[in-house]
Structure 1
Amino acid sequence: MLPATAVALAVLAALLAWPVPALLARAGWPGRDPLVALVCWQAIGLAGGLSIIGALLSHGLAPWAHSLPEAAGAVLAGAPADDPVRGDHWITLTLAAVLASELVGVLLLSWVRTARTRRRHRELLELVVQPAQVPDARLLDHPAPVAFCIPGARPLLVLSSGMVAELDDAQLAAVVAHERAHLREHHHLYLLPFVAWAAALPVLPAAARAHAAVRTLVEMRADDVALRTLDGPTPRRTLAQAIVVAAGGAGGGVPSGALSVTGGAVGARVRRLLDPPSPLPAWARTVALASAGLLLLVPTALLLLPAL
């Protein structure tokens, strides 16, 4: 059973490493519901990791038993293998251990580095910013129109003096609502796995594609959340104008690890605000979420069901 499981998991891993991310990145529907698309991207990343590591383990542990849980239990108990253990079994077991360690290690390292960078930027900014007229925001004396937030245990929302000077009250409120959406929904956690994926597998085109797509979707989601809180007759145009003004500053002064209103594909976001797509139908949302759940269920079932 394990050789067949290994082949099935390897095929699934190959699909999730290139064609599936490519199709999702080129699809038109994610912009209609960024949150559902973000769930799908998270499922692709997690299922892909489970599949490739599971395929290697399934092949490497095949001599010990006919299911992965039984084989793993036999190895941990020091039981002898039922069949001869060849060199390819040891190689795949080594690759599984190395890949799992790299993926988990890079994820933890990325989290630690990002948290340290954000803490350092927050400490430096707190020395130079002053309270802004906007509640819970800080004002930075900087001529470029800049707005960003630094997430974490002590989140910081920063507006530059250039941004305050160039925007009217409605546009400034739109920018602040966008940044507050990032903080409230913890969008930095959506990005972290894909930052680690791109760092761990830089030769894989899907890694960079996934990171770019998730970054844009996070910004689109923040736009949508911000629009719910904005007043005025044309909140979409107001937010789009604010994004264009901020993009004119070329993102100057935005520290690494921060989430900025000019993050993601600015042009696509502005077009989406000015010409909003129709919402994703309920049936389509259900299909997309069910597909994401199925992506996680399939490798889990391939690994565990033979033992039942």
Structure 2
Amino acid sequence: MTVALLLAAYAVVAAVVLPRVLGAVAWAERAPRLAAGMWQAASASVVVSAVLAGPAFAVPPSSVGHGLAAFFAACADLVLAACAELLFGAGALPAGAWFALAVSGLIGARVVYCGAAELIGARTQRRRHSEMLALLGRHDDDLGAVVVDYEERVAYCLPGRPGQAVITTGALRSLTCEQVAAVLAHERAHLAGRHHLVLAASAALARAFPFVPLFVRADAEVRRLVELRADDVAARSHRRIDVAAALVGLATGRAPSFALGAGGETALARVRRMLAPERPLERGERLAGLITVGVLLAGPAAVALLPGVAAFLAHHCNAIIMGAPGIYYGP
């Protein structure tokens, strides 16, 4: 029960405290990919803690410690007991254990449902948009992008198989050749990094639990950070001044909600970052960030398994000592 309470308490406290802690991280813009990973790891740690709290309350640690077979047998017993209670009114399953498992199951089911809804909904919209582009747009082999005859200055990418970069004639007329190449490199960075999946994960949690501060803040921060990451990738092969100028030119453009666009409301802030870049993280700082991500991801599972591992070691060490030759424990 102690482990279950620890996991539940962490999920509640972290959901409120971590947005403030991670929001105060000063190096996020120097390492946007690592910062986005930290936000997602924090969100995952809260969900996993909440889901594991139920089984940790219902399954005795000794069942885990005596082997996986016994663990699965204990889980099966709980399921059978729950069915017996529902069908025959048997009281084999304690009310507290039933409630804890039900809450964990509902949380997990809600996350899975919203994740599937996000992926399927976005895929449907992208397929329809792709069909529209096939009618209204033309593929430019020199640019490696689809050109749409439209006066508004817009550039975006449409993930899928295959993913494609899209730019309007209005953007082509307002940007230089170097700036067009830079903005298309930005869009290809989104496609190569599969940023649509990253955004779908954070959006699914914000959709599933819109009252949880961590998930709402993480969704907004991850959206901003993937744009910074794409800017950095584009700046590797193009001048930062061209990336910045392209962002200015596309600042007022609005890409479809299911696509990733170079412009948008964060464009002007990103321009300042492009023109006045900060130094990258040192190796030690990056290592500390990676360790933090690892702790956030593995921490809840480690806490949940700790009693079982302790019971396993205690049981087998005791068996080894008792069975050692030459040791007599009798009177």
Q: 1:73 to 1:162 in 2, by over 3 A?
A: same
Number of residue-to-residue matches in the alignment: 298
Provide the residue aligned with 1:146 in structure 2. Answer: 154
> Cα–Cα, structure 1 residues 8 and 264, in superposed 2: closer, same or farther, change >3 Å?
farther
Residue segments in structure 1 that go unaligned for 5+ positions in a row: none
Q: Secondary structure at the match of 1:203?
A: coil
Q: Is 1:131–1:139's contact at 8 Å kept on the other side of the alignment?
A: yes
Among candidates 201, 208, 227, match of residue 216 of structure 2: 208
CA distance 1:5–1:278, shift in 2 (3 Å): same
Aligned 8 A contact 1:34 1:221 in 2: yes
- 1:274 and 1:89 mapped to 2: Cα distance? 57
Counterpart amino acid of 2:31? D
Q: Kindly state the Cα deviation for residue 286 of structure 1 after the two structures are TM-superposed.
A: 0.2
Letter in 1 for 2:178: A
- Relative to 1, partners in 2 of residues 1:180 and 1:304: Cα closer, same or farther, differing over 3 Å? same
Contact 1:64 1:74 in 2 (8 A): no
2:124 aligned with 1:116: yes
The one of 222, 228, 244 equivalent to 2:248 is: 244
Partner of 1:275: 276
1:133-169 deviation digits (Å, cap 9, x = unpaired)? 6432011010010000001112121110000000011
Q: Does 2:226 match 1:225?
A: no
Say what the alpha-carbon RMSD is for the aligned residues: 2.4
Please give the per-residue CA displacement for 1:221-267, whole angstroms capped at 9, x wherever unaligned.
Answer: 0000001111xxxx212211111110133x1xx22210100256223
Identity of aligned residues (%): 35
Partner of 2:25: 27
Alignment match, 1:106: 114
1:91 maps to which of 87, 92, 99: 99
Listed as ranges, the matches of 1:1-308 within 5 Å are 3-62=1-60, 65=63, 73-77=73-77, 85-132=93-140, 134-230=142-238, 235-249=239-253, 251=254, 254-263=255-264, 265-308=266-309
Provide the C-alpha distance between the structure 1 equivalents of 2:119 and 2:153, rounded to a whole number of angstroms.
29
Larger radius of gyration: 2
Q: Secondary structure at the match of 1:255?
A: coil
Distance of 2:3 and 2:199 partners within structure 1: 31
| Match in the other structure for 2:317 | none
For the residues of structure 2 that align with 1:105 and 1:171, how far apart are their CA atoms?
A: 41
Contact preservation (8 Å) 2:157, 2:163: yes
Query: By how many angstroms is 1:63 displaced?
Result: 10
Assess if the C-alpha contact under 8 Å between 2:5 and 2:53 holds in 1: yes
Counterpart of 1:303, as a letter, is A
How far apart, in 2, do the equivalents of 1:259 and 1:207 lie?
20
- TM-score, normalised to structure 1's length? 0.89
My pick for the range that moved more, 114-123 or 83-92, is 83-92
2:19 and 2:213 in contact (8 A); partners too: no
Change (3 A) 1:131 1:247: same
Contact 1:110 1:196 in 2 (8 A): yes
Segment drifting more, 70-79 vs 186-195: 70-79
